[in-house]
Amino acid sequence: VENVWAHGRLIDPPSRSSAWRFGYKTKINYNDNELFCGGFTRQWKRNGGKCGICGDPYDGKRDNETPNGKYAKTLAITRTYISGQTIAAKVQLTANHNGFFVFKVCPAVNDSQEVTQQCLDRFALNVLDPQNSSDKYTVPSPKAETFTIDLKLPDGLACDRCVFQWTYTSANNWGKCDNGLSAVGCGPQETFRGCADVRILAHNNTLNETEMTTTPHYVVPDSDPNDETLNTIESKRVLTTTDSSYTPIKYNDNSKRVLTAAHPFYTPVEYNDIKRESGCKSTGIWRAVPNMDDWCRTNCALNYCPQSHCTCNHN
């Protein structure tokens, strides 16, 4: 039995397809709760379970991915955090089919290519809930509602722009379990994803925590008049750099970005005429970050070569 009617969206941090609901000047996607890898049949029968990084069909247009996705052309940093911080993510299920959530992050080196799933897999976020495993949040209620999940950001990871990925694996299909028996929730399931762009500051930076006293403004699309849950989300705590109002940061330039600090912050620089140290490459967890070898070759040649990120062979 295959049911494919679950729906959900990542709303904190607001995903690329949902940022417009929160006042960001990004392209409107009225179907932002339907990023389900093209649907169960397409994902599992045609693509062997594979899915786009941000919920697009694996074999189709990547509307939610950089550089050419229509919902990723104008990127907005929708949240700013501190390395190692405990954050409260929010997911809205407009149709709940049980299952579990997983959250991951990956530093984005530039806007001309999307991060890889391999990199995201290296930075899975811990769920701070005794009822859940370390990296999975089991949906505790069958209701269509907004769920708040406490997560721990990785220590030592900082970035000017990180991709924050939410994956929802539902549990509404009948399939074969690991013990050989069959039951609802076993085997291939419908999958949802969402990507948000966030900033993670190093520990030596500080943020002001401001209690929001009014309900955040949500835009309800005319084409979705029954989506009443958009108007019932509770007020929330928001971390900002100045006050309770958050100004979206746009990434409109096409210049390449390289890391410029011990923690991987990304600053636009031109690659023209930059000397490179050919014997240097990334090391440790940074090997999973796209273009890190190039970053090491560039920055080590400028006498900035942190051993936590790079190793060099000058033979």
pLDDT tens digits, one per residue of 10-29: 999 999 999 999 999 999 99
- Pair 190, 78: CB distance under 8 Å: no
Rounded CA gap, 159 and 119, in Å? 14
pLDDT at 35 over 50: yes
pLDDT at 237 over 60: no
Q: Which residue has the higher pLDDT, 132 or 143?
A: 143
pLDDT band at 5 (very low <50, low <70, confident <90, very high): low
pLDDT band at 257 (very low <50, low <70, confident <90, very high): very low
What are the residue boundaries of the structural domains of the chain, listed by start? 7-201, 280-312
Rounded CA gap, 80 and 199, in Å? 5
* pTM of the predicted model as reported, rounded to 2 decimal places: 0.68
Q: In the prediction, which pLDDT does 131 show?
A: 74
CA-wise closest residue to 100 among 76, 123, 133: 133
Q: What's the whole-number mean pLDDT along residues 244-257?
A: 33
Is the backbone of residue 231 left (phi > 0), alpha (psi -120 to 50) or beta? alpha
Q: Which residues neighbour 164 within 8 Å (Cβ) at sequence distance 6 or greater?
A: 10, 13, 79, 103, 104, 105, 195, 196, 197, 198
| DSSP-derived secondary structure for 78-120 | EEEEETT-EEEEEEEEEE----EEEEEEEE---SSSPPPHHHH
High-pLDDT (> 90) share of the chain, %: 49
Mean pLDDT taken over the chain: 77
Q: In the prediction, which pLDDT does 133 show?
A: 66
Tell me which H or E stretch contains 148: strand 146-152
Distances (CA, A) of 88 to 15, 127, 187: 14, 10, 30
pLDDT at 80 over 80: yes
- CA–centroid distance for 297 within its chain: 28
Rounded CA gap, 167 and 239, in Å? 23
Rounded CA gap, 35 and 33, in Å? 6
pLDDT at 273 over 80: no
Distances (CA, A) of 32 to 94, 122, 131, 199, 313: 11, 26, 29, 22, 48
Q: Which residue has the higher pLDDT, 288 or 192?
A: 192
Q: 7-201 architecture in CATH?
A: Distorted Sandwich (2.70)
Q: In the prediction, which pLDDT does 207 show?
A: 58
Q: What's the whole-number mean pLDDT along residues 77-94?
A: 96
Q: What's the whole-number mean pLDDT along residues 260-266?
A: 33
pLDDT at 310 over 80: yes
Rounded CA gap, 193 and 200, in Å? 21
Cα-based torsion angle of the residue sequence 170, 174, 177, 181 in order, rounded to the nearest 10 degrees: 160
- Could you read off the pLDDT of 198-230 as tens digits, one per residue? 999 987 665 554 322 223 333 333 334 334 333
- Could you read off the pLDDT of 187-196 as tens digits, one per residue? 888 999 999 9
Q: What's the whole-number mean pLDDT along residues 117-124?
A: 96
Q: What's the whole-number mean pLDDT along residues 112-135?
A: 90
Q: In the prediction, which pLDDT does 210 show?
A: 35
High-pLDDT (> 70) share of the chain, %: 72
Cα-based torsion angle of the residue sequence 287, 76, 56, 51 in order, rounded to the nearest 10 degrees: 30
